[in-house]
Structure 1
Amino acid sequence: MEPSSASDATGEGRSAGNRPGDRIVTIPNALSVLRLLLVPVFLYLLFTDAIGWAVAVLMFSGFSDWADGKIARLVADQSSRLGELLDPAVDRIYMLVTPVALAAAGVVPWWFVAVLIGRDLLLAATLPVLRSRGLTALPVTYLGKAATFALMSGLPFVLLGQFDALWGRVILAIGWAFLIWGMALYLWSAVLYLAQVGLVIKRLPRTAAGSRGTPGNG
């Protein structure tokens, strides 16, 4: 949920020719729906100790998240308004469900989950301010996507590292390297987001109705 530029934040950074269409059936949307359906599958596999399959689901979800964004940008008629809403919503679900589930399974500490959720709650608290200026949210940034990618890459490695073997300890260290780096980016993207909210408050007057801007995710 981070802005990409000050011009985007004020609704001026997107031309009419680049606006997404109203299509529903697109490849990116299908991938987002599939990722959403895999959430309960992941939970079932995790809590039935099918660790390998649970890791596979997380890795597929991370890859498909990257793939749907690429397809939406590079393939004609694959970008849609629904996709702009659905993709970040599914990201948020994974960023909530996965750490909580792994903490409940004893894979990651609860403080890690608290930092992630606290950051998202802080950004969510700015939404009424944005809406009072006629915005729904601020555009996504590559920094926010990179943070999400690092975190969603690290979590499968940390889960896979639970196996009691030398290779498991190596994988665990790699996973935590991703998580630490992702957490740093995640928090920094929140700082930038709040700075953009400050610009919105300064530059845009309050409005009674209407919506501008593009929802994003961090």
Structure 2
Amino acid sequence: MAPPVSSRIVTIPNILSLFRLLLIPVFLVLLLLGHLGWALLLIAVSAVTDFVDGYVARHFNQISRLGQLLDPAADRLFILATLLGLGWVGVLPWWLVAVIVARDVLLLVLGVVLANHRFGPLPVHHLGKMGTFAILFAMPVLLAAAAFPDLAAVALPLGWAAAIWGVFLYWWAGVAYILQAGRMIHELRVAPASASDTVDR
């Protein structure tokens, strides 16, 4: 049985999601000023609060409609800010940033197309989850390599391996979403024709 969804606004998960949103400009300022160690710490804080708000929401019945919007928005904005910030300071190459952002833009367009056909959002694919996890792992590891050069010999190959694998899975999931959406739209268009043939007979 699915847990109840409340209309409450002030909950611990919502406060933590708002806190993550407020961390974004602080993170970018630290990054652009060259305080890479502190910026890395904020990534860690964001990851911990993300885990905590999900745990509290599920185990203490604090799932709310606002939280269902606020939590993923905070996650996506923090990821986008991290990608752009790391690209700006040279930790990530711009081509890698573009490849990751392009996939998200593609899914945004796909969501609009599905909404126009009266479909809701597609369920999250396990490939997408694994790809997102790999990318989220790669970004702080690569930032750690830049912030602490003594770690670079280990952190750089580890971060790049995770980033490349994550991008591969990210786009593999994107292709799976496109194919699934194509089948759904095709079935929607075929259904009226099938119904019409049945009536004619």
1:62·1:153 contact (CA, 8 Å) conserved in 2? no
Give the 5 Å matches for 1:78-93.
78-93=62-77
TM-score, normalised to structure 2, is 0.82
Task: Give unpaired runs (5+ residues) of structure 2.
Answer: 190-201
Q: For each residue in 1:65-103, what CA deviation from the matched residue of structure 2 results, as whole angstroms up to 9, or x when unmatched?
A: 233333333x14222222222222122212222111111
Q: Greater share of helix residues, 1 or 2?
A: 2
Aligned match for 1:44, one of 13, 24, 29: 29
Q: Which residue of structure 1 lines up, in the alignment, with residue 175 of structure 2?
A: 191
Counterparts of 2:138 and 2:115, CA distance in 1: 34
Q: For each residue in 1:177-203, what CA deviation from the matched residue of structure 2 results, as whole angstroms up to 9, or x when unmatched?
A: 221222122112212222221233134
Distance 1:186 1:123, change over 3 A: same
How far apart are residue 47 of structure 1 and its match? 1.3
Q: Which residue of structure 2 lines up, in the alignment, with residue 107 of structure 1?
A: 91
The one of the two structures with greater contact order (alpha-carbon pairs below 8 A, sep at least 6) is 1
> Which has the higher Rg, Structure 1 or Structure 2?
2
2:37·2:147 contact (CA, 8 Å) conserved in 1? no
Alignment RMSD:
2.2
Distance 1:89 1:163, change over 3 A: closer
Determine helix, strand or coil for the equivalent of 1:134: coil
Counterparts of 1:204 and 1:29, CA distance in 2: 37
Give the 5 Å matches for 1:12-23.
17-18=2-3, 20-23=5-8
Determine helix, strand or coil for the equivalent of 1:92: helix
In the alignment, is residue 129 of structure 1 matched against residue 148 of structure 2? no
Identity of aligned residues (%): 45
Q: Which residue of structure 2 lines up, in the alignment, with residue 24 of structure 1?
A: 9
Aligned match for 1:69, one of 54, 64, 67: 54
TM-score, normalised to structure 1, is 0.77
Counterparts of 1:84 and 1:145, CA distance in 2: 17
How far apart are residue 62 of structure 1 and its match? 2.1
2:3·2:61 contact (CA, 8 Å) conserved in 1? no
Task: Give unpaired runs (5+ residues) of structure 1.
Answer: 1-14, 206-218
Equivalences, count: 189
